[in-house]
């Protein structure tokens, strides 16, 4: 059965994962229990590749369109998109269908989590059930080789490599790996895209080597994930894998993890959070991330008995 719901999203992969509860809600309202999905065929970066991998491996998704390269001929009842997406020809095409729910958010004023933002829109369309859990599909492999009495700890220093977003990076992963090796004899699993964690020692290195759903498979096997505010954190959160996330300038209330197995370390810097301000773009010091120490991470591991 052809779904009558089509969804467009062009944003970060973490944003998409926070979108998945609303996608599930909308699918549950359709007679087919599925949705179609639209990607921007003129969008060429690693985020698009990851998003297509997620959608291609999610049984809830019936068909993926690549607009404007591929025309959309079905007369959908619902063209779901939000102002939280980047502009494109696909976005403009969806706007012309006259179905957008205009709801721009002042994140700092409302302190609204992005998952609930999408759910509010789904409820405006008639969804009345509980908020579904975040979802991330998992590939069949790779399978991690577990060494007896050595916990598997994943690390990811993920951020989109631009001047605006590079301040999400944490500078002490090399020292953390040394501490985890010494205190817990941990197997360190490196994940992320190319150029992340360069020069950082690891026992298993998957940086730049996996599709996104393969990375999700690796994360699903970890005893603990340690990450910055990035998509890998949202994967661990969706898969209920214990996770410690370090937040500097970005909003925890907007993008923080939701699972009870997820823990957040927030910078004590007085200038944070600066997201959605000129300071976030202009800052070159990154004092917020520098102020979270290896000792803070190790103390959180001990306090929560994570290893």
Give this prediction's pTM: 0.94
Q: Residue 265: how many CB atoms within 10 A of its CB?
A: 19
Interstrand relation of 5-8 and 35-40 (parallel, antiparallel or unpaired) = parallel
CA dihedral (56, 60, 63, 69) positive or negative: negative
Average pLDDT value for residue range 25-48? 94
Which of residues 73 and 282 earns the better pLDDT score? Answer: 73
Query: Distance between CA atoms of 237 and 244, rounded to whole angstroms?
Result: 10
Average pLDDT value for residue range 110-134? 94
Q: Residue 296: how many CB atoms within 10 A of its CB?
A: 17
Model confidence band, residue 270 (pLDDT cutoffs 50, 70, 90): confident
Same domain as 203, residue 109: no
Query: Distance between CA atoms of 72 and 93, rounded to whole angstroms?
Result: 10
CA dihedral (285, 155, 159, 302) positive or negative: negative
Same domain as 60, residue 164: no
The confidence score (pLDDT) of residue 98 equals 66
- Is 8 in contact with 85 (CB distance < 8 Å)? yes
Please list, in sequence order, all residues whose beta carbon lies within 8 angstroms of the beta carbon of residue 188, skipping any fewer than 6 positions away. Answer: 153, 154, 155, 177, 180, 181, 201, 202, 203, 204
Same domain as 188, residue 258: yes
Print the domain residue range for 55.
5-124
Same domain as 188, residue 298: yes
Cα–chain center distance at 209 = 18
Same domain as 177, residue 109: no
Q: What tens digit of pLDDT does each residue of 220-250 get?
A: 999 999 999 999 999 999 999 999 999 998 9
- What percent of the chain is modeled with pLDDT above 70? 96
CA trace torsion 231, 232, 236, 237 (10° rounding): -20
- Is 249 in contact with 274 (CB distance < 8 Å)? yes
Same domain as 287, residue 205: yes
Same domain as 166, residue 93: no
Same domain as 157, residue 290: yes
CATH number (domain holding residue 236): 3.40.50.2000
Q: Residue 203: how many CB atoms within 10 A of its CB?
A: 15
Same domain as 168, residue 115: no
The confidence score (pLDDT) of residue 32 equals 98
Same domain as 61, residue 176: no
Answer yes or no: is 132 within a domain.
no
Answer yes or no: is 243 within a domain.
yes
Answer yes or no: is 51 within a domain.
yes
Q: Is residue 143 packed enough to be buried (19+ CB in 10 Å), middle (13-18) or exposed (0-12)?
A: exposed
Same domain as 119, residue 25: yes
Count: domains in the chain: 2
Strand order in the sheet with 5-8: 61-67, 35-40, 5-8, 78-80
Model confidence band, residue 39 (pLDDT cutoffs 50, 70, 90): very high
Highest mean pLDDT among 115-119, 247-251, 283-287: 115-119
Answer yes or no: is 131 within a domain.
no
Same domain as 120, residue 158: no
Q: What tens digit of pLDDT does each residue of 156-205 get?
A: 997 656 666 677 889 999 999 999 999 999 999 999 988 789 889 999 99
The confidence score (pLDDT) of residue 72 equals 96
Answer yes or no: is 216 within a domain.
yes
């Amino acid at each position: 059965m052809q779904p009558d719901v089509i969804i467009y999203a062009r944003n970060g992969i973490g944003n998409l994962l926070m979108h998945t509860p609303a996608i599930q809600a909308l699918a549950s309202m359709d007679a087919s229990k599925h949705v179609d999905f639209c990607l921007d065929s003129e969008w060429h970066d690693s985020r698009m590749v990851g998003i297509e991998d997620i959608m291609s491996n999610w049984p809830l998704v019936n068909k993926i369109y690549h607009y404007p390269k591929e025309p959309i001929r079905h007369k959908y009842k619902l063209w779901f998109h939000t102002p939280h997406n980047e502009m494109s020809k696909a976005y403009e095409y969806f706007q012309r269908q006259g179905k957008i729910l205009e709801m721009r958010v002042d994140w700092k004023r409302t302190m609204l989590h992005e998952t609930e933002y999408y759910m509010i829109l789904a409820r405006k369309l008639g969804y009345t059930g509980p908020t579904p859990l975040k979802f991330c599909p998992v590939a069949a492999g790779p399978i991690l080789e577990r060494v007896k009495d050595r916990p598997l700890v994943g690390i990811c220093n993920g951020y989109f490599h631009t001047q605006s977003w590079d301040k999400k990076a944490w500078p002490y992963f090399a020292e953390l790996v040394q501490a985890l090796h010494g205190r817990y004899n941990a197997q360190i699993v490196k994940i992320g895209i190319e150029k992340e964690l360069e020069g950082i020692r690891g026992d298993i290195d998957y940086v730049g080597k996996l599709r996104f759903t393969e990375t999700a498979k690796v994360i699903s096997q970890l005893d603990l994930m340690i990450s910055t505010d990035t998509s890998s954190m949202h994967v661990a959160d969706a898969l209920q894998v214990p996770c410690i996330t370090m937040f500097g300038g970005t909003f925890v209330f907007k993008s923080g993890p939701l699972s009870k197995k997820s823990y957040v370390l927030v910078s004590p810097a007085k200038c944070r959070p600066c997201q959605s301000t000129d300071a976030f773009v202009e800052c070159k010091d990154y004092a917020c991330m520098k102020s979270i120490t290896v000792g803070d991470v190790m103390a959180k591991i001990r306090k929560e008995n994570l290893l």
